[in-house]
């Protein structure tokens, strides 16, 4: 990210669902999937948990390409595990991620406020202290498995502004954004850099997750689980341009229960340096992942881009 991108991009997503276009066969699968999410969120959690277990079994056995991605990630990040332990973790990762999809149904369609009485919030004083000082907060999250539900839960304890990358499928994107607008005060398109900065300068918080590999553009390399990982450099740009502090933020399920933990951490040191900020963020991220290793989006090719372009892609 750089200053030449700091221009207005005020886009409100089209969330209309009653469009003739969406009756086309190419969207039938989306309607089925979303209908399934809606129905599943009406079920008791124990039933959801068993459904997600079945979906995980299917995905593990049928989606061999995605299974390989998870296996490579586990091999890279948890070399100390035995082959049997690695395979068990891979299966648990599929289960947690499938449950994460069902949790999205709860966030988009369900009554997420019912979790407020059992919601455990840790370290919020770190977040509040920054806002009370008049600075904005870059709420540095990550792609943990309860991602959308975490957004809904976060809205129960503070105003939630988020950044997002639109989906290619227009219908799925419309449904997703309708769901997120239920609990987000503002949702900023990835290109709305001016919106990001204005939000932070107003002394508000902005959720931002730089933990995916989108190549070399606007990224630096920093160690993650002992391997150099392409890490989006937006944290530094946002904190400097928005006069904001970076506060790491994690969100997890308490094992196999419908109870959740939101945890705010101490702000990262103010370095103004992309590599130092990426290093500090990745160190925090690794610690957070190790606490709940299966509750992370290991289905993503996190180590696809190599610091040395001549080094092989581990997923090939």
Q: What is the pLDDT of residue 11?
A: 55
The answer to whether residue 302 sits within a structural domain is no
Q: What is the pLDDT of residue 195?
A: 94
Which phi and psi (to 5°) does residue 219 adopt? -140, 155
pLDDT band at 6 (very low <50, low <70, confident <90, very high): very low
The answer to whether residue 209 sits within a structural domain is yes
Cβ burial of 24 (10 Å; 0-12, 13-18, 19+) is exposed
Counting the structural domains of the chain, the total is: 1
Q: What is the pLDDT of residue 13?
A: 72
pLDDT band at 12 (very low <50, low <70, confident <90, very high): low
Residue 153's domain comprises 3-291
Mean pLDDT for the chain overall = 94
The answer to whether residue 115 sits within a structural domain is yes
The answer to whether residue 305 sits within a structural domain is no
34-84 residue pLDDT tens: 999 999 999 999 999 999 999 999 999 999 999 999 999 999 999 999 999
Weakest-pLDDT range from 14-23, 51-60, 279-288: 14-23
As a whole number, mean pLDDT of residues 129-148 equals 98
The answer to whether residue 277 sits within a structural domain is yes
Residue 15, strand partner residues: none
pLDDT band at 179 (very low <50, low <70, confident <90, very high): very high
Weakest-pLDDT range from 103-112, 122-131, 186-195: 186-195
198-253 residue pLDDT tens: 999 999 999 999 999 999 988 999 999 999 999 999 999 999 999 999 999 999 99
Q: What is the pLDDT of residue 8?
A: 40
Cβ burial of 206 (10 Å; 0-12, 13-18, 19+) is buried
The answer to whether residue 231 sits within a structural domain is yes
The answer to whether residue 248 sits within a structural domain is yes
pLDDT band at 4 (very low <50, low <70, confident <90, very high): very low
Query: In this structure, what token pair is assigned to residue 76?
Result: 């890279």
The answer to whether residue 311 sits within a structural domain is no
pLDDT band at 15 (very low <50, low <70, confident <90, very high): confident
Q: What is the pLDDT of residue 299?
A: 98
């Amino acid at each position: 990210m750089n200053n030449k991108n700091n221009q207005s991009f005020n886009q409100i997503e089209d969330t209309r669902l009653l469009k003739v276009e969406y009756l086309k066969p190419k969207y039938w699968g989306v309607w089925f999937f979303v209908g399934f999410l809606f129905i599943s969120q009406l079920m008791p959690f124990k039933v959801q948990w068993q459904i997600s277990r079945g979906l995980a079994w299917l995905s593990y056995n049928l989606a061999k390409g995605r299974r390989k991605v998870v296996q490579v990630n586990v091999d890279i990040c948890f070399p100390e595990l035995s082959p049997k332990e690695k395979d068990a973790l891979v299966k648990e990762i599929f289960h947690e991620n499938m449950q994460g999809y069902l949790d999205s149904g709860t966030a988009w369609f369900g009554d997420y406020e019912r979790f407020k009485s059992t919601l455990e919030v840790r370290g919020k004083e770190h977040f509040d202290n920054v806002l009370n000082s008049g600075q904005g907060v870059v709420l540095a999250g990550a792609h943990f498995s309860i991602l959308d539900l975490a957004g809904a839960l976060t809205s129960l304890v503070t105003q939630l502004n988020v950044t997002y990358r639109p989906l290619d499928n227009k219908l799925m994107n419309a449904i997703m954004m309708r769901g997120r607008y239920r609990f987000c005060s503002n949702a900023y398109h990835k290109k709305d850099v001016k919106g990001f900065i204005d939000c932070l300068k107003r002394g508000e918080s902005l959720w931002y997750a730089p933990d995916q590999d989108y190549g070399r553009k606007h990224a630096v390399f920093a160690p993650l689980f002992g391997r150099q990982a392409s890490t989006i450099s937006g944290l530094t740009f946002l904190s400097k341009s928005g006069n904001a502090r970076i506060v790491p933020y994690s969100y997890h399920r308490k094992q196999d229960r419908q109870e959740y933990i939101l945890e705010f951490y101490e702000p990262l040191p103010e370095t103004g340096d992309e590599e130092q900020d990426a290093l500090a963020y990745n160190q925090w991220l690794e610690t957070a992942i190790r606490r709940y290793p299966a509750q992370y989006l290991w289905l993503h090719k996190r180590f696809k881009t190599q610091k040395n372009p001549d080094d092989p892609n581990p997923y090939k």
